[in-house]
Amino acid sequence: MSDAVLSLSIVVAPEGASDAQAVERLNERAFGPGRFARTAYRLREMAEAPRDLSFVARVSTLLVGANRLTPIRCGTAPALLLGPLTVDPAFRSRGVARSLVDMSLAAAKQQGHKLVILIGDEAYYKRYGFTRVPPGRLTLPGPVDPARLLVLELEAAAFEGVSGSVGA
């Protein structure tokens, strides 16, 4: 008997109108009910993520991952908030998150967006070019560990001179 390797084809595409419930169920499984109290969720409640900046990953018809970019402001500068980046536990470490983030950032850059922030693990997100926001530059509408507030410039020097409150 030979060892068989199962290869799954993962397809990343823009989130469709019919995906909203499946994405919400995935987020619920991944982050639980406490997710609504998090500062990033407070920001996401202020603005809707456009579908052309929101992506889902599927294996056949099964939704296994999702990522959104929500328009926000950092002081007076327009920006995007990345997340939630969610991957079904059974499909982690298969490049799903990488594909979702790459697709999201490419779409944002193509549309002329210049700045993306997120609240997340610097060790993970530095592979995409995210760096820590200097302390005191941005104020969010809730508590955030300053070590987890990250920024990515999609255009050189886009974060230069940006400071203030983050909101919709």
> d(Cα 65, Cα 26) in Å, to the nearest integer?
8
> d(Cα 147, Cα 119) in Å, to the nearest integer?
9
pTM: 0.88
Number of domains in the chain: 1
Is 5 inside any structural domain?
no
Is 90 inside any structural domain?
yes
Q: Which residues contact 37 (CB under 8 A, 6 or more apart)?
A: none
pLDDT tens digit at each of 168 positions of the chain: 445 445 678 899 999 989 988 888 887 877 666 655 566 767 877 778 889 999 999 998 989 999 999 999 999 999 999 989 999 988 888 889 999 999 999 999 999 999 999 999 999 999 999 999 999 999 998 889 999 999 999 999 999 999 999 998
Write b or e for each residue in 37-61: b if 16 or more Cβ atoms lie within 10 A of its Cβ, otherwise e.
ebbbbebbeeeebbeebbbbbbbee
> d(Cα 133, Cα 44) in Å, to the nearest integer?
19
Domain containing residue 96: CATH number? 3.40.630.30
Is 82 inside any structural domain?
yes
- Could you tell me the residue range of the domain that residue 21 belongs to? 10-167
Q: How many CB atoms lie within 10 A of CB 10?
A: 16
Q: Which helix (H) or strand (E) holds 55?
A: strand 54-59
Is 3 inside any structural domain?
no
Is 49 inside any structural domain?
yes
